[in-house]
A and B are shown apart, each in its own frame.
Chain A
Amino acid sequence: MIDQAVDPSRARHAELVLQQVDALPTLSPVATRLLAVGSADDADLDEIVTLLESDPALTARILGLCRKAAHGLGDRVTTVRRAIIMLGLEAVQSSVLSVSVYDLMSGASKRRRREPAQGSAAFDREGFWKHALGVACAAELFAHRYRKLAVRPDEAFTAGLLHGVGKLALDLVLPEAYQRVVMVAQQRGCDSAPVERGVIGIDHHTAGRRIAERWGIPDELRDVMWLHAQPLSSLPADSPRELIALVTLAKALCREMHIGWSGDFGPPPPSRSVCEQAGLDAAAIDHVATHLHDSAAQRFQVLGLDARPTPQLLLQSIANANRRLGDLYAAADRRARQAKRSAGALEAIETFLADHDAARGTIETIGAIARSAARTLGPTRWSALLRRHEGEPWLAVRFGPEGRVEHAAAVPRDASSKLSAAIASGGRNVPTLPSGALDATGLRAQPSTAFRVQRGTGASQVCLLLSDETPAANDLTPSDALLATWAAALDAAARHEQAQRISEQLAEVNRSLVEARDRLAETEALVRLGEVTAGAAHEMNNPLTVISGRSQLLARRLNDDADRASAEAIARAATDLSDMITALHLLATPPTPAIQRIGLRALIDAAIDEAHRRTGVTPETEIDLGDAPAVIDADRELLVRALSEVICNALEAAPGCLIRVLAQTDPVDSRLLVRIVDQGPGMSAKAARHAFDPFFSEKPAGRQTGLGLTRARRIVEIHGGEIALQSEPDHGTTATISLPLRRTSSGEGSLAA
């Protein structure tokens, strides 16, 4: 139930209700004065008598009440003074209070309230007073039986009569709200207090206490009005436990006996268990029950409630009981139906969730929804219209019996916007589809059944679930919970797809980033190498020149052949070392290519010759120029160098094997592709990756420098081209050189992009 005093606005609202309760009329001056007199011991009897007799109508009813209350003395209580003497002041006070409150409340209700429509749930005022009097009588009778509790019967009567006055007060000040309280309590089959707290903000216990304080009602009675519904065991120590126990027991008995209308619809506590809790002998219940109808009927008459004699009251009780029973059956039936539906929806959700894997895409998810719909709603074939984002065309998908996609088509643009407009105007409901919108989609023009699967009305992703068949049970619509589950799954699928797209893009960006970073690092390394080799070329070449020159001079003078060969070897080594430095320097600071028109075939021939010259091997070659241009613009010397480096590499990898040089024009971006294909042992992925690194070599250490391919790549790069190796162990290696073919007719200037 709703928790009070949590929300400040609720607390303010409750205070407003209480102020209205305060605005109810107060007790008559006679009653107020009489209540203020207190106990009989210090009361001025004459004053009380005078006071009461000033109101003859009141006097008559008090005497009547007193006569009924005092068994055996009835006829002798003829005056107020006599009543006080014979029954005691307290009894008279009780009577006065009962009559006053009843008059007050019924008077107020007559002024403030129109009669509710017949048959509707409403506060049954007359029935309520009958219940109150019944409880009062029962409490009085119990008080007589349980003398050991030392509760005066008249006090018990008043307590019973007034215990539920708070309900009356709330109904008076907030008639419409209270009507709802009654209705809800009746439907839920619960007591009124929790519903009062939910609907009005305060319950009748609080309202009762407020009235008691305002009217100056004695503390014991106030506590009964306030605390009577609480379990006896949890009552505060200073509360009138015995009195409350009696009222609780009386109330339980009256509800069991269906006397009057209590306004509570929860199952009443069995009177016997109330007895047990209060530590009382349950035998008294039967006795009280026997006399209750008689006693209550008499009091009804005194208060002018009802003129009917006892049997009618009994019959009415039985009718009340029947009606109540009927209500209970209806409520139970309603609940059973609801429970069945809830269970069905829950099962459908469970099945759907088990069937649907959150990691799948949107279309698969709609397939799972189609399966779920087929299971829950009957028709076996469903279709869907899906729009992921506003402005995008709709996608029409037809599913087979197993939720497999049978057909999918985009709705044409015009039809799509019509469809969007129709669906937008439909709000939460499923719209009438514009005619012709689904032509060319393979879906029926106007489905007979449609559901909207959408996460909130504002969501951009909208899915309409359609079927040509009408579900077997017409009223069988997917529960809100199932629709929400479908929508959530669809939403999750969309997010999943988006996340996947983003992560793919991210991976792509990362790849480019890594490549760019590698290239940058390589370029930086080359720049640094350039600075180093520029210095080295000068600083190291001078000593090398001395070594070389001196050994040459030495070689001339030496007559011994071996000595001379030795000196010449020194000279050659110095030259080799110098060449290596020069090569490094060139890598770092490549020359601007001197572009000229050169024949492609001549270029390749020259490169093969150069390779032959350098390796001493005559390669077996096969040249195919394909659709490549016969003449290109490039730096002849450099390109011959680059090609020969690649050919040398192929020759060294596969000595004696055929080397094919294949040229063609790349049809996509008009670049010249030259492939040098060998049939050697191929190389590892690592080797292919590092083949262009300076000094990288898979050849045994100590042989050759690994600068050839590095130089080749540098030359290709300054021509604006690219070079790459594709290789697999045992499947040979293909080096592909790709050069841009766009040329200025003058042939002047750099080719480099």
Chain B
Amino acid sequence: MSTDNGQQTWAEKKIFTTGEAAEVCKVSQQTIIRCFDSGRLSGFRVPGSKFRRIPRDELIRFMRANNIPTDALEGARKRVLVVDDDERILELFRDIMGGDERFELRTAATGYDAGMLTESFRPHVLILDYMLPDVNGNVVCKRIREKPELEGTRIICVSGVVNQDEVAALRRAGADEFIKKPFDVAALLERVASLLGLEHTDV
């Protein structure tokens, strides 16, 4: 992991100066100071000085409240949502990707949970088992594609069934990739990374 990556720095920062916050929010430092002073952006002053400091959580809250994209702040770790009704498969994915600094992993066991989580978690990648107990993978793909704010979400379908017709249907419904179970772990990670524009890194 390279240390000169600015994004990585921000990703690890717990406390932001007004200058840093201005950079993250892509506004002027004066604007941050004004908001700080008016109380719209909470923080604290360094004891014994006038330097303003903003905690990470407060900054994120502020950014979201003002519809400022938090990508710059959080983009370092790619959010991955794995949907599968088989807990053993979910565990396998946790072991594969959970220890990987590049990914922030969430899991869901049903299509319903998957829908809810996509709203709040806004995953960069959805790894979707095609055969879900409640809804078909096709439907999940279509719902995601109907939401403009999820435009950037990549969908990888995973299934034991490799029927070309079904694969074609999934692609039409908005799936980006199809991976057959069982899969080669390295190959899977490579596919995810390439979909997210990440450099290939050996885990």
Contact = CB atoms under 8 A, between A and B. Distances in A.
B172 interface: no
Interface stretch (B13-21, B58-66, B176-184, B192-200): B176-184
B185 A549 contact: yes
Interface residues of B, number: 21
A552 B184 contact: yes
B49 interface: no
Interface string B161-183: 11111000000000000001111
Contacts of A578: 160, 180-182
B152 to A, nearest CB: 27
A542 B131 CA distance: 11
A548 B131 contact: no
Interface string A575-589: 100100110011001
Contacts, number: 68
Interface residues of A, number: 28
A639 interface: no
B66 to A, nearest CB: 43
Interface stretch (A304-312, A323-331, A532-540, A677-685): A532-540
A548 B160 contact: no
Contact of A542 (B95, B162, B181, B186): B181
Given A538-B131, A550-B92, A545 B164 contact: no
B163 A589 contact: yes
A542 B160 contact: yes
B84 to A, nearest CB: 8
A12 to B, nearest CB: 90
A538 B161 contact: yes
B135 interface: no
A162 interface: no
Nearest to B188: A549
Interface string A111-128: 000000000000000000
A170 B182 CA distance: 117
Query: Is chain B's interface secondary structure helix, strand, loop, or mixed overall?
Result: mixed
A545 B89 contact: yes
B162 to A, nearest CB: 6
Interface string A335-369: 00000000000000000000000000000000000
A546 B184 CA distance: 11
A582 B162 contact: yes
Contacts of B161: 534, 537-538, 541, 585
Contacts of A586: 163
Query: Is chain A's interface secondary structure helix, strand, loop, or mixed overall?
Result: helix
B88 interface: yes
A488 interface: no
Interface in B116-162: 131, 159-162
A662 to B, nearest CB: 30
B162 A548 contact: no
B162 A546 contact: no
Nearest to A553: B95
A591 interface: yes
Contact of B96 (A549, A581, A592): A549
Given A538-B131, A553-B95, A578-B160, A544 B182 contact: yes
A545 B185 contact: no
A547 interface: yes
A544 B92 CA distance: 12
A574 B182 contact: yes
Given A542-B86, A542-B89, A548 B183 contact: yes
A550 to B, nearest CB: 7
Given A549-B96, A553-B95, A575 B182 contact: yes
Contacts of B131: 538
Given A541-B182, A574-B182, A549 B92 contact: yes
B88 A546 contact: yes
Nearest to A591: B164
Contacts of A542: 86, 88-89, 160, 181
B190 to A, nearest CB: 13
B88 A553 contact: no
A23 B185 CA distance: 129
Nearest to B203: A556
Given A538-B131, A591-B165, A592-B165, A549 B160 contact: no
B110 to A, nearest CB: 16
Nearest to A540: B160
B178 to A, nearest CB: 13
B165 A549 contact: no
Given A538-B131, A578-B182, A545 B92 contact: yes
Interface of B: 86, 88-89, 92, 95-96, 131, 159-165, 180-186
Top 5 nearest A-B pairs (CB, nearest first) are A541-B160, A548-B182, A545-B182, A545-B181, A591-B164
25 contacts: A534-B161, A538-B160, A541-B182, A542-B160, A543-B88, A544-B182, A545-B92, A545-B182, A545-B183, A546-B88, A546-B92, A548-B183, A549-B96, A549-B182, A549-B183, A553-B92, A575-B182, A578-B180, A582-B180, A585-B161, A585-B163, A586-B163, A589-B163, A591-B163, A594-B164
Interface of A: 534, 537-538, 540-550, 552-553, 571, 574-575, 578, 581-582, 585-586, 589, 591-592, 594
